[in-house]
């Protein structure tokens, strides 16, 4: 009879494979740095925002929402992009964590890295500006990615405890 795995990221499966999400998380942070410090990023975000605006307009029309001019005007913000890229980074770092403490430290490090990259825009980019709303979006993304890791750890604990109970009863 083996004891069920401990609650926390360390109790998750694939312990020997943690290096894979760790390497992917380092790559994600590097890609985030390139995106956030690139002078071309605003153009990319504008194109993405235009696509999102068009999709929102179509969805509003399909839902029967009365929109003046038939278009929904969504603020040109890259908030969602910041949330997404930092959620992915936090998720990957979290999957590599081996304890609750390491998860907390890793998530804090990812958030501080995102703030550092936001502040670096002032120095290394001529077309990007430091924005508080971007820092908030980074924080929301890191929190979202970390919450997914926590939820996965809790579900994994419940499933493995159930499987252990079933195997012990046989």
- DSSP per-residue letters across 18-46: THHHHHHHHHHHHHHHHHHH-TTHHHHHH
**Tokens 């943690």 -> residue:** 18
In a domain? residue 2:
no
Q: What's the pLDDT score for residue 40?
A: 55
Q: 109: which residues sit within 8 A by CB, 6+ positions away?
A: 93
In a domain? residue 1:
no
Assigned token pair, 67: 């929109």
In a domain? residue 115:
yes
**What stretches in the chain show pLDDT beneath 70?**
1-18, 39-77
Gap between the Cα atoms of 167 and 160, Å rounded: 10
Gap between the Cα atoms of 139 and 112, Å rounded: 9
Q: What's the pLDDT score for residue 137?
A: 94
Q: What's the pLDDT score for residue 71?
A: 53
In a domain? residue 8:
no
In a domain? residue 100:
yes
CA 67 to chain centroid: 32
How crowded is residue 108: how many other Cβ atoms within 10 Å of its Cβ? 12
**Number of domains forming the structure of the chain:** 1
CA 97 to chain centroid: 15
In a domain? residue 45:
yes
Q: What's the pLDDT score for residue 13?
A: 57
Q: What's the pLDDT score for residue 138?
A: 94
In a domain? residue 10:
no
Range of the domain at 149: 15-164
In a domain? residue 6:
no
């Amino acid at each position: 009879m083996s004891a069920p795995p401990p609650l926390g990221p360390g109790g998750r499966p694939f312990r020997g494979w943690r290096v894979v999400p760790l390497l992917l998380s380092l790559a994600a942070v590097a890609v985030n740095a390139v995106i956030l410090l690139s002078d071309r990023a605003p153009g990319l975000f504008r194109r993405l925002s235009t696509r999102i605006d068009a999709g929102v307009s179509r969805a509003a029309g399909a839902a029967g929402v009365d929109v003046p001019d038939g278009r929904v005007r969504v603020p040109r913000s890259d908030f969602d992009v910041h949330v997404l890229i930092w959620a992915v980074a936090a998720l990957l770092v979290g999957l590599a964590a081996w304890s609750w403490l390491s998860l907390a430290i890793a998530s804090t490090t990812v958030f501080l890295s995102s703030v550092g990259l936001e502040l670096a825009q002032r120095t290394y980019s001529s077309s990007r500006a430091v924005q508080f709303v971007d820092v908030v979006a980074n924080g929301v993304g890191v929190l979202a990615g970390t919450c997914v890791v926590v939820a996965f750890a809790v579900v994994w604990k419940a499933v493995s405890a159930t499987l252990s109970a079933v195997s012990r009863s046989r």
